[in-house]
Structure 1
Amino acid sequence: MTVEVQQVDQTPDVDLVFTRADLQDIIPHDNDPMVISVVTAGRNVHRVLVDQGSSADVMFLMTFNQLQLSTNRLRPYTGCLYGFAGDQVEVRGHIELRTTFTDGTTSRTTNIRYCAVNAPSAYNILLGRPALNRIGAIASTRHMKIKLPSLEGVVITIRSDQKEAKRCYENNLKTKRGVFVVTTRPPREDGVFRVEIARENRPEPAGDVVEREIGGKTFKLGWSLSQESQDQVVEVIARHLDAFAWSASYMPGIDPDFLCHRLTLDPQVRPVRQRRRKFNEERRLFVREETKKLLKAGHFRVIQYPEWLANVACGLAPKGHWCMWQVVFC
């Protein structure tokens, strides 16, 4: 019988404090994920997602192969990883690698046990609670930084790469892949170790639909529903018809604490004024009508600028109707 003993680092007892000064070099963001870089297997590995909700440290198989690691180094994994939903993917095993965390001046190196998972991801490594607890790290999503003590008691501050985080998020949206959140479970009886990967799927009708007129509005109900079930659904919708918003005018004066659009700007990038674009008659009329609706609902107001700023962004939606995403007045 082989007993595996994992070496425990002696983490110094150091106060890790986040202050307002940690916010000065951060680009305003809307809950961006925390993505950092580490050094492992002698290589710089970027796109490392810091996920405090994960109970395992995951290295995706594509990263494992790019690091040119031998599969002979993989040891059997004695647990089972589960996501909150989605498909099941086999866990190839686990490997322990020396991993260095550095801010450019001070570093901390320790052994991290990664589970090798064969699943698509925009990230290379998922850093969960085991690694964070092992190095005594504290992550702050507001400050977009992770702080940990070195063995000498010096505080190491690693800043999240916000540009890389946005690219990873966009790649997830393009490929319909979600962020992997895993939890450890006991092994199954058949001895197969698997992980469930969460995927973001938009709801679609299960079959054909029928249109019903309710209060002067058209609703689509499932064709497979019985006539009695359809009548019950119609009755519920009719009672709560005032809960539906049919246009922007139905939602006047939205509390900014509930919903507010903010422009994420990089203060280090020089603003670029767009060249004024002329629209054809169809788009021009659409932009005018949409602007009137939003002004009437009080969603925005006119601000006078001495020169042109930007164009209105509009285009055809997948269902064939026009949509407008940006309004800037001159």
Structure 2
Amino acid sequence: MAGESTRRNQNFYCQYHQDHGHTTENCRNLWNYLDQLVREGKLRHLLHHPSGHQGQAHQEPPRDIALRPPVGMINVILAALGRTGICPSRVLSVAQWPAKESQPKSKRAKMNFHPILSFSEEDKIGTIQPHDDVLLITLRIGDYDVKKVMVDGGSGAEVMYPNLYKGLRLKPEDLMPYNSPLMSFGGKLVIPKGMIRLPIQTGPEIMEVNFIVADTYSPYTAIIGRPWLHTLGAVASSLHQKVKLPSGDQVLEIRGCQSTARQSAEEAKCEDLEEVVIGGDPEKFFRVGAQLPLQEKEELIEFLKRNIDVFARDAYDAPGIDLAFICHHLNVNPSITPKK
């Protein structure tokens, strides 16, 4: 939003920009973004097509859209500081695809019936107990089924990482600015690359969510937090490895993958490495643990400097060694002509 914030009208607030100066309804950037989504056909299910005859039903979107196969599958905990409790700033809209069969129900039944979300011992069937595994699920983000999405009820923001951003075929210019830093598990501040709004489909529910793109290592592809859970009215249980959410008069379940969670936990144990250049050539470096205590790191670097002459990066760094030691041969008969 251009201009100094002190000169804007403080009586008007825009949830899209999260700033004062104009109302959300009069936000030109928001209307331009919605127009773009309409042109791309992403809001077809929300459009109403008026007809010339009163009472004539408008044309419904094809019912098989929600069941279309994904474009592909992507296999690749943070909390935002500030602005973490405002769902409208991260959730633009929630839409629902038309059900396969519509059965008439009384208004009273619709108003009074609320599915109960609960977990019992039966929900533990198929899981390894006891455990302390995180909850990893597969979600349809955009046009792709994305694996290794962590559900974290303690996170006040949805986060995605660069590998997933590239896997979704998104471009750097698609990012919106986002300046609030994030805090990693290691206690480091991470400056986000930006923010992007993408649709998440859960059963018949389609929800637009703001993802903060963090340029840091993570064993997960993305993190889904409270804004997504609360907007859908969903409840997650890592103990039962499930997410339950209401959908009409039914309860939908998303089952987590416990084996993937354990594999990701092992990956997370791998320590971050940093490059240490010893000598004048920046292309010749060693990788040491970034979390090593300072004294141990200095002793290790000093040891490498004293013994730099014993390290060989290619055959030319080790003259005098018999070629039979460093060369290998294929176990084939030279008298036989190779065939394709």
Give me the TM-score of the superposition, normalised by structure 1: 0.49
Report 1 or 2 for greater relative contact order, CA contacts < 8 Å, sequence distance ≥ 6: 1
Give me the TM-score of the superposition, normalised by structure 2: 0.48
